[in-house]
């Protein structure tokens, strides 16, 4: 019985186990379905929430876009309103202007009618007055016109004659005034040219930077130099050059040597300037003495006073019209000696007087008066004979020559100054340049005459008015200037002035 109970128990156990498993399985399925349903519900709720949020955002964006669009529309409506107002104002202005123009046209038309009416009335009055005048004067209008023209012609002729006389008087006065002015300018220019030639020296410098060093800080170097040397130091825009100006040729030479030494040394300051000036002064003094002794030796003149020797040596740095005065004095001494020998007069006296005849030019910047008189006074103080003094005084006819020796010195001086190559070279080149300048202008068609003026700084070209018009004159001036630039060499600039003159000529028969 026990095995049966055991089997039944096992079977019952198995059945209970199976029933329990089936229950668990049903419970698990129910829970799974519940979980799935809950997840689906959650997903639906979340989706609904997202959909609502998207709808809200879309509504906000639509609202903002609508507001922006409305604002832009309002702005455009305002602009359109402003434009409409402007257009309406312009239309009103145009309407007012049209009305004003219409009124003015009406006024003008009415005024023209009145003017025409008054003109007609005036013509009638003039005709009536003319008829009345003819009746009173017993002359027609043509006869009265002839009488009136005759009187006017007499008055015009009388006034013309008076005007012509006054014009001639003014022209003569103006011509005299211009002539005096031209002469004064010519004298001034000639004097300036010779003074510049005789009183300046040019010192070349390595570069324009040296000019600043020569001037020094606040001008102390140039002031020290001018105070020390007694000459003027001119520093301008001339490239790589400075100018020394002084009437004393010896001091100018001392300054030139001192300045060249300073430039070569490179150390330029007041103490160095004083040192170089002292050295240059000693050097030039020695050169002056040696030049005087050499000149006396070359001329064969002996027994001269030491002061005359020094003064004679100073002529080494003196020029006259481009001619060195010391060399000129030696030439005069030689020429006077030869002529004296040919004429049989005192050769030594003539050679001595010829050497000393321009002695006054060495000190004429210090003493007023003709250089012949100054030289004679110096020679008198140094004990020279009266014959020598007379030759020196008379060589430019400051006193009348009374001896043969004095006349010989005059002739020798003229020969030395007038010989070819002495003083005429500069003048000849100057004249040739003026001739070439005039030839260039005359080579152009339509030129009648031309004149070089102001030392070659200006040329005035007279043209034929029937061949050259006013517009052609401008072209001609430019062509002449271009040809001058291409063919000539000249300092500075040349002014080309073309003059076209029209004249009305009639003859009384």
Q: Which of 74, 104, 128 is the last residue of a domain?
A: 74
Report the pLDDT value the prediction gives residue 324, as an integer from 0 to 100. Answer: 80
Identify whether the C-beta of residue 415 lies closer than 8 Å to the C-beta of residue 430. no
Whether residues 370 and 332 fall in one domain: yes
Closest CA to 448 of 431, 473, 483: 473
d(CA 414, CA 407): 11
The percentage of residues in the chain with a pLDDT greater than 90, rounded to a whole number, is: 1
Q: What is the pLDDT of residues 436-445, one digit of tens each?
A: 888 888 888 8
Whether residues 324 and 418 fall in one domain: yes
Whether residues 415 and 436 fall in one domain: no
Whether residues 418 and 436 fall in one domain: no
**How do beta strands 458-463 and 495-500 pair?**
parallel
The secondary structure of residue 206, as a DSSP letter, is: S
Report the pLDDT value the prediction gives residue 453, as an integer from 0 to 100. Answer: 79
d(CA 30, CA 50): 30
| Containing structural domain, residue 50 | 35-74
Backbone angles phi, psi at 367, to 5 degrees: -125, 135
CA geometry: angle 226, 232, 238, nearest 5 deg: 120
d(CA 483, CA 97): 64
Number of domains in the chain: 4
Report the pLDDT value the prediction gives residue 41, as an integer from 0 to 100. Answer: 84
**How do beta strands 319-320 and 241-245 pair?**
unpaired
Whole-number Cα distances in Å, 172 to 165, 167, 178, 185, 469 = 11, 9, 10, 20, 30
Whether residues 277 and 328 fall in one domain: no
State whether residue 461 is helix, strand or coil. strand
CATH number for 286: 3.30.1370.10
CATH number for 476: 3.30.300.30
pTM over 0.85: no
d(CA 22, CA 10): 18
Whether residues 405 and 480 fall in one domain: no
Residue 74's contacts (CB-CB under 8 Å, 6 or more residues apart) are none
Report the pLDDT value the prediction gives residue 195, as an integer from 0 to 100. Answer: 35
16 inside domain: no
Report the pLDDT value the prediction gives residue 425, as an integer from 0 to 100. Answer: 43
Q: Which of 388, 422, 456 is the last residue of a domain?
A: 422
240 inside domain: yes
20 inside domain: no
Whether residues 289 and 334 fall in one domain: no
156 inside domain: no
State whether residue 54 is helix, strand or coil. helix
309 inside domain: no
Q: What is the pLDDT of residues 91-145, one digit of tens each?
A: 888 888 888 888 888 888 888 888 888 888 888 888 887 777 767 667 676 777 7
Q: What is the pLDDT of residues 248-282, one digit of tens each?
A: 777 888 888 888 888 887 788 888 888 888 888 88
Whether residues 418 and 330 fall in one domain: yes
All residue ranges of the chain with pLDDT < 50 are: 179, 181-198, 424-425
Whether residues 444 and 463 fall in one domain: yes
Q: Which two tokens stand for residue 275?
A: 């040192």
Whether residues 399 and 460 fall in one domain: no
Identify whether the C-beta of residue 221 lies closer than 8 Å to the C-beta of residue 215. yes
Whether residues 290 and 363 fall in one domain: no
The secondary structure of residue 403, as a DSSP letter, is: S
Backbone angles phi, psi at 138, to 5 degrees: 60, 30
Whether residues 222 and 256 fall in one domain: yes
229 inside domain: yes
80 inside domain: no
CATH number for 384: 1.10.3210.10
131 inside domain: no
Report the pLDDT value the prediction gives residue 188, as an integer from 0 to 100. Answer: 36
């Amino acid at each position: 019985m026990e095995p049966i109970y055991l089997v039944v128990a096992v079977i019952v156990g198995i059945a209970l186990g199976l029933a329990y498993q089936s229950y668990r399985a049903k419970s698990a399925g129910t829970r799974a379905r519940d979980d799935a349903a809950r997840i689906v519900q959650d997903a639906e709720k979340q989706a609904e929430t997202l959909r609502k949020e998207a709808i809200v955002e879309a509504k906000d964006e639509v609202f903002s876009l609508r507001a922006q669009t409305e604002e832009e529309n309002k702005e455009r409506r305002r602009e359109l309103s402003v434009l409409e107002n402007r257009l309406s104002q312009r239309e009103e202005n145009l309407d007012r202007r049209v009305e004003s123009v219409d009124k003015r046209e009406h006024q003008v038309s009415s005024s023209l009618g009145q003017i025409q009416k008054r003109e007609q009335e005036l013509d009638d009055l003039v005709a009536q007055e003319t008829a009345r005048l003819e009746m009173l004067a017993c002359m027609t209008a043509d006869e009265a016109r002839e009488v009136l023209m005759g009187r006017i012609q007499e008055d015009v002729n009388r006034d013309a004659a008076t005007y012509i006389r006054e014009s001639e008087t003014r022209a003569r006065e103006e011509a005299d005034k211009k002539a005096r002015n031209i002469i004064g300018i010519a004298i001034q220019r000639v004097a300036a040219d010779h003074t510049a030639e005789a009183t300046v020296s040019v010192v070349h410098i390595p570069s324009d930077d040296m000019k600043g060093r020569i001037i020094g800080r606040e001008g102390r170097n140039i002031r020290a130099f001018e105070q020390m040397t007694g000459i003027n130091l001119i520093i301008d825009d001339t490239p790589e050059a400075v100018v020394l100006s002084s009437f004393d040729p010896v001091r100018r030479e001392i300054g030139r040597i001192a300045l060249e030494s300073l430039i070569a040394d490179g150390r330029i300051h007041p103490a160095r300037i004083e040192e170089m000036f002292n050295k240059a002064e000693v050097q030039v003094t020695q050169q002056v003495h040696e030049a005087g002794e050499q000149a006396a030796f070359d001329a064969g003149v002996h027994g001269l006073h030491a002061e005359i020797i020094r003064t004679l040596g100073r002529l080494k740095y003196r020029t006259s019209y481009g001619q060195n005065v010391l060399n000129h004095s030696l030439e005069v001494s030689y020429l006077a000696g030869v002529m004296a020998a040919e004429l049989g007069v005192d050769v030594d006296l003539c050679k001595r007087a010829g050497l000393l005849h321009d002695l006054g030019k060495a000190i004429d910047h210090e003493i007023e008066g003709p250089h012949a008189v100054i030289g004679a006074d110096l020679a008198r103080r140094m004990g020279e004979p009266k014959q020598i003094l007379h030759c020196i005084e008379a060589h430019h006819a400051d006193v009348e020559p009374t001896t043969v020796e004095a006349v010989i010195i005059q002739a020798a001086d003229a020969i030395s100054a007038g010989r070819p190559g002495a003083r005429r070279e500069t003048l000849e080149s100057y004249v040739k340049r003026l001739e070439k300048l005039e030839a260039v202008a005359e080579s152009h068609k339509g030129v009648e005459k031309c004149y070089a003026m102001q030392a070659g700084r200006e040329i005035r070209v007279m043209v034929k008015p029937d061949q050259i018009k006013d517009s052609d004159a401008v072209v001609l001036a430019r062509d002449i200037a271009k040809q001058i630039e291409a063919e000539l060499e000249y300092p500075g600039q040349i002014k080309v002035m073309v003059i076209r003159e029209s004249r009305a000529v009639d003859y009384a028969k």
